[in-house]
Amino acid sequence: MAILTVQKVSKYYEKKKVLDDVSFSLEKGEILVIIGASGSGKSTLLRCINQLEKIDEGNIIIQEQKMIREVKKGKPIYEKKDKLEKMNLSCGMVFQNFNLFPHLSILENITKAPMTVLKQDRKTAEQIANQLLIKMGIENKSDQYPCTLSGGQQQRVSIARALAIRPEIIFMDEPTSALDPELIGEVLKVIEELAKEKRTMVIVTHEIGLAEEIADRVIFMDQGKIIEEGTPQEVIGNPKQKRTREFLTRYQKKQLRFGDGS
């Protein structure tokens, strides 16, 4: 049964339709990679699922809980706050620019949500955080502040922070796009590890190589719409749509040029 269903979702910014009748679903343990040109609505889609933006039409269902309770005069009415918060705890989000709290240490960045939202005691939260830091290969950084870490290290902390709430689904929005080329590999390695553990993930990325390697399914978005969907072999290896082919030609060329397409 689907763990996440996005049902005919549309979203406008002012008059501009940035998500246009988007529907897909995700099974437990499945890895979905979303590709598409800049401005095609990928971030907005993840932000709507993570309740950082509101939708104007459709519904989002996470573990059988609907986000929209009813539609009144054409406007979606969201569920009550406590239900929405519970749904949001099923979702861990990793942002392109890390979004760590600059005034908190690495350890505090990771323990904050488990202590405040999940009501874990400090000792338990710190134990879990330390295990996650070991998993991310940055166990000796726990007392430091984000600004003293490299981008690759900050992004690994941000992945640890997302995992600390034990989410059912992990969302990553271009997790390697803000990194210097030499730091991309260390973050890709962590993502590949999570993939091996069969974590349920939705990853927006321009790393076509990563999509080919770990995705069970690939979605190509263009101008707020899902244009093509299938296995990596289908969408990347043998795209049916002209726009998908054009996009892939552009990005695969770019990766060859910069040598970071592995």
Q: Smallest distance from the beta carbon of 121 to ligand ADP, in angstroms? A: 38
Q: Smallest distance from the beta carbon of 244 to ligand ADP, in angstroms? A: 15
CB atoms closer than 10 angstroms to residue 8: 12
Of 36 and 114, nearer to ligand ADP (C-beta) is 36
Of 40 and 120, nearer to ligand ADP (C-beta) is 40
Asked if 176 and 155 count as a contact pair (C-beta separation under 8 A), the reply is yes
Residue 80 DSSP label: P
Residue 50 found at the interface with Mg ion (CB under 5 A):
no
Q: Smallest distance from the beta carbon of 94 to ligand ADP, in angstroms? A: 14
Residue 18 interacts with, from ligand ADP, Mg ion, none (CB under 5-8 Å by kind): ligand ADP
- Containing 203, the helix (H) or strand (E) segment is strand 201-204
Which residues of the shown chain bind ligand ADP in the complex (CB under 6 A)?
13, 18, 36, 38-44
Residue 43 found at the interface with Mg ion (CB under 5 A):
yes
Of 142 and 205, nearer to ligand ADP (C-beta) is 205
d(CA 162, CA 169): 10
Instruction: Single out the segment in contact with Mg ion by CB under 5 A; choices: 36-44, 76-84, 103-111, 148-156.
Output: 36-44
From the list 45, 47, 27, 26, the residue with the least C-alpha distance to 35 is 45
Asked if 30 and 22 count as a contact pair (C-beta separation under 8 A), the reply is no
d(CA 122, CA 112): 9
d(CA 125, CA 138): 17
Instruction: Single out the segment in contact with Mg ion by CB under 5 A; choices: 18-26, 38-46, 131-139, 213-221.
Output: 38-46
Residue 153 found at the interface with Mg ion (CB under 5 A):
no
Task: List interacting residues with Mg ion (CB under 5 A).
Answer: 43
